[in-house]
Amino acid sequence: MKVNVEFDCTPEEARRLLGLPDVTKANEAYAEATAKLMQGAGSIDQLQDIAKQLAPMGEMGLKMFQQLMTSGAAMATGGAMGGKKQAD
């Protein structure tokens, strides 16, 4: 049996429904600080170093995110991850 439930609400209403905290101000401060930091970068290498520092788990987190994006792209295009066949 399959049951689908659809909610028609704004992100704010969904946040309140689930009892999640409002992190809008923290997110705005983080985004503003990140934008200022990136404006000071003069090269791609500096941007890469900044991104590594900002990532929650550093370089390991960035590699995991890159693998996730690569896997998603491969699945979306019908390819196998990294050239390996996936088992059913």
pLDDT at 57: 64
pLDDT at 4: 94
The pTM for the full model equals 0.39
Query: For 78-88, what is the mean pLDDT?
Result: 53
Nearest to 22 by CA among 13, 31, 35: 13
Q: Give whole-number Cα distances, 67 to 18, 56, 73, 83, in Å.
A: 30, 16, 10, 13
Distance from C-alpha of 31 to C-alpha of 28, rounded to nearest angstrom: 5
pLDDT band at 23 (very low <50, low <70, confident <90, very high): confident
Query: For 12-41, what is the mean pLDDT?
Result: 83
Name the strand (E) or helix (H) holding 86.
Answer: none
